[in-house]
Amino acid sequence: MIERVAGLDWLDGAAGMKRGISMGNLARISLVLAGSIMTPAFLAGACGGDDSTGAGGSSGSGTGGTGGGAGTTGGSAGTTGGSGGAAGSTGGNGGTAGATGGAAGSGGAAGSTGGKGGTGRDGSAGTAGTAGAGDGGSSEAGSDVATPPFPAITWGPVIRVGGGYPRMAELADHRLVLGFESGGLQVTFSADDGQTWTRGISAVAAAPGFAIANPFPLQLTDGTLLLAYRNVAAAGGDYTLSVAASADDGQTWAYRSDIVSHDAQGVWEPFLMLMPDTGELGAFYARELVSGGPTQDIELRRSSDGGKTWSAAQIVSHRTNSRDGMPGVVRLDGLTLMLIFEATDLGRMAVRTLVSPDGGRTWQNRALVHDNGAYSGAPYVVRLLDGRLVASFQSHPANIPESQSTFGCVLSPDNGQAWADLPTPFPETGRLWNALFRAESGTLFALTGGQLRRVQLRR
């Protein structure tokens, strides 16, 4: 049985889909999410005030003191372990839960280890401890991920808006735009953090003999709104990914360019973002090597002129006999990106990730997020303000058709090293091409065909 994760109850939620998580990882994640695992510095914060100083280690084999916490500034470092300390004595940990983590204590002599820097509530890492003078001395910087307890995720009521394949973006003035499928492609806007929405505006209509789908909105730094989409000949054999643009706040739209033009192989599901290494516009998408064949790649093209022209394709993900598709990307920090996608290298559809440490130039660490033994696909991922990752997907057992898929959700507190099931925001079947979005306000959105739910989260 998958246990409901403490501190993450969702209104009207049902238990999340089962998946293979080791008992060790599940226990570790459950404790972290419940706030039961506290660093020594966090616990010390119950006693320390502003700039509190932990007691120094005693001479001979003592351990450096632990800084206080919970002040406006993290507690000062513990004093250095006694000069006569035995090899391996440890400097004090920095204060935790202040606005900025305190500095770690220095290690004692004879090869001791510097304490770990504290972690601030604003995500600022504490200073690393100073290594001891003897052999084997080392130090460790504090984490920039917030410490537990975390804010709870309790979804609000269902808001009916949009249509199929909903995808959301935030504008420079913090309004939200939602692109969706409904008799062509439409957009709608919200000026109150997603509580109410304007009437839908037609953005792109299909040309005779073609079908359009997969809308994805994004605003450029000059204010131009873009909408990427798939354009496929009804008879097959002609696949194009295009971009429309609006210079008047989404009221009117015009064709801008083709990302991929008239390809004989299938191209699908464009995902737009501004690349962190150059600021260029990036378009991720899936492309079949042979139409309908067993191998499909994920590619990236870049544009330095706002989507008017595009670079040659860069292969982001390739594995022979695996249909890697439906890419979604989230920025973890700095230049580090995480790609989430569906893949069939297990002989069935499952959800995987890749990570780029250099703004999308190279990709590595192909990892499994979710596999229910039958079908898990169409994923999406966002990063909350406190550093946690939330991923969504559609899933169904082997004897159930795709049209009866459910909305699955998992959460990771450690940048995707391990994932825990969450209850679904939409327990009903028939949940297809779902998505998530996290606004700058901290509000998290769960999106499905014609509906959304939201929850306001703070760090």
Q: Could you tell me the residue ranges of all domains in the chain? A: 39-144, 159-455
Instruction: Give the C-alpha separation, 25 to 291, whole Å.
Output: 40
The runs of H, that is alpha helices, within 284-427 are none
**Phi, psi (rounded to 5 degrees) for 9:** -70, 135
| Average pLDDT of adjacent 10-residue blocks, the chain of 459 residues | 37 33 38 34 30 35 38 37 36 37 37 37 36 34 43 88 98 98 97 98 96 98 98 90 98 98 92 97 96 94 98 97 98 97 97 98 98 97 96 96 96 95 93 98 97 89
Contact 372, 391 (CB under 8 A): no
Contact 259, 268 (CB under 8 A): no
Cβ neighbours of 328 (radius 10 Å): 25
> What pLDDT does residue 151 have?
65
For 11, residues 6+ apart whose C-beta sits below 8 A from its C-beta are 154, 155, 156, 157
> What pLDDT does residue 186 have?
98
Q: What CATH class is the domain 159-455?
A: mainly beta
3-class secondary structure, 47: coil
Question: Alpha carbon of 333 to those of 136, 156, 168: distances in Å?
Answer: 30, 29, 21
| Two structure tokens written together for 98 | 């202040």
Greatest alpha-carbon span in the chain: 85
Q: Which among 455, 441, 384, 438 has a CA at the least distance from the CA of 415?
A: 384
> What pLDDT does residue 443 have?
97
Q: Which among 120, 128, 167 has a CA at the least distance from the CA of 145?
A: 120
- Give strand pairing partners of 246: 225
Question: Alpha carbon of 130 to those of 44, 54, 224, 292: distances in Å?
Answer: 20, 16, 50, 58
